[in-house]
Amino acid sequence: MPASREVVFVDGVRTPFGRSGPKGLYAETRADDLVVRVIRELMRRNPGLPPERVDEVAIAATTQIGDQGLTIGRSAAVLAGLPKSVPGYAIDRMCAGAMTAVTTVAGGISFGAYDVAIAGGVEHMGRHPMGEGVDPNPRFLSEQLVDGSALVMGMTAENLHDRYPSITKERADAYAVASQEKVAKAYADGRIQRDLVPMATRRAAEGWGLATVDEAPRPGTTLEGIRGLKTPFRAHGRVTAANSSGINDGATGCIVAAEDVARELGLTPRMRLVSYAFAGVDPEVMGVGPIPSTERALRLAGLSVDDIGLFEINEAFAVQVLAFLEHFGIADDDPRVNPYGGAIAFGHPLASSGVRLMIQLSRAFAERPDVRYGITTMCVGMGMGGTVIWENLS
């Protein structure tokens, strides 16, 4: 039995995230081509990594059909020009797909099965709407295994408002405006662009273009401007398009390696994996998932929430982030939380988002050498949460 090894995050990149739909950045771009671009950029940015030393390519997608099918980790690796000897596979844990791709290959690295792996995710929600082709078993409802609202994410967010009456629509809207402001500032300060890989786009009517920035952010968003938006999931509800993540297209990827191998190859580890955990909750309030997964990850690491200096929380809905913060006694505007903004502004291409969180945490670590530990965490459809704790190596 090999001794376990330390696992490190070396580098991560992503495409700009586009808005889904016929007018979005990637309306006529294939999902697998988004992944290919990410893999090629990772290899370009890390010339010390021989392509044949990549032992696995794990790519997540929530809807694994069409151009997100065909075992996308393997097919994208071949399309990206990696040696045919490099295997790959697809993985699905809905929103936490890329996060699970990272933790899965990390387990293999720690065990000694791999030295270096590429992990990431893609979601082209314009081509593949959430739930496309899904056939839920009728027993879910006929046997009352879940409430009917469990299958509609926006309704689960409304349920969460019910469970946390202190989290008002006004608080959710204020959090959403702050996310937009933080993203605008991060862009102005050049903190986002350095990990975006320009992506060629094409439209039959207009020809070729180049995507270089995220399409979804709405700088200048104000409380007054979003206060009267419709609440599509419940009459007189609290969840709106402004305090939720959007429907988006994009891909992410990262290099994960054994720490000794990374240093042998001249790669610079940015952060070390300390622990991770996934947890299940009632599907109709899936947004609370990050609470038990974080408690478990902290327990496994022998840490408390007070040891965490930076939090990257996926903003599927403002209420879900606020529930996490309220549980752990963290202020809505705590500067440790999503310092560059989050998915309410950037967008949330489901399976890809976990690695976006890791990319942003690694950049924040580099600017904060005084911070030792950080967390990436997210809620997951069907009632789950995922959390990874990282140690700063900057």
Per the residue annotation, which of 95, 124, 128, 161 is the catalytic one? 95
| Residue matched to tokens 């929530």 | 62
Size of the chain in residues: 394
CA nearest neighbour of 285 among 144, 164, 176, 173: 164
Residue 95 catalytic?
Answer: yes
Q: Which residues contact 226 (CB under 8 A, 6 or more apart)?
A: 173, 176, 177, 240, 242, 243
Residue 327 catalytic?
Answer: no
Parallel, antiparallel or unpaired: strands 116-124 and 248-258: antiparallel
Q: Residue 351 has what DSSP assignment? A: G
| Residue matched to tokens 């990431």 | 120
Per the residue annotation, which of 124, 128, 161, 379 is the catalytic one? 379
Structure tokens at 277: 């955990």
Structure tokens at 142: 């006929």
Parallel, antiparallel or unpaired: strands 56-60 and 116-124: parallel
Residue 236 catalytic?
Answer: no
Query: 3-state DSSP call for residue 217?
Result: coil
Element (H, E) at 366: helix 353-367
Q: Which residues contact 285 (CB under 8 A, 6 or more apart)?
A: 156, 159, 160, 163, 383
| CB contact at 8 A, 257 and 269 | yes
At 8, phi and psi to the nearest 5?
-125, 150
| CB contact at 8 A, 39 and 71 | no
CA nearest neighbour of 332 among 340, 343, 321: 321
Burial call 49-69: b when 16+ CB within 10 Å, e when fewer: beeebbbbbbbbbbbbebbbe
Where helices occur in the chain by DSSP H, the ranges are 31-45, 72-79, 97-111, 139-142, 153-163, 169-188, 223-226, 259-264, 290-301, 318-327, 343-346, 353-367
Per the residue annotation, which of 124, 128, 161, 348 is the catalytic one? 348
Positions marked active-site:
95, 348, 379
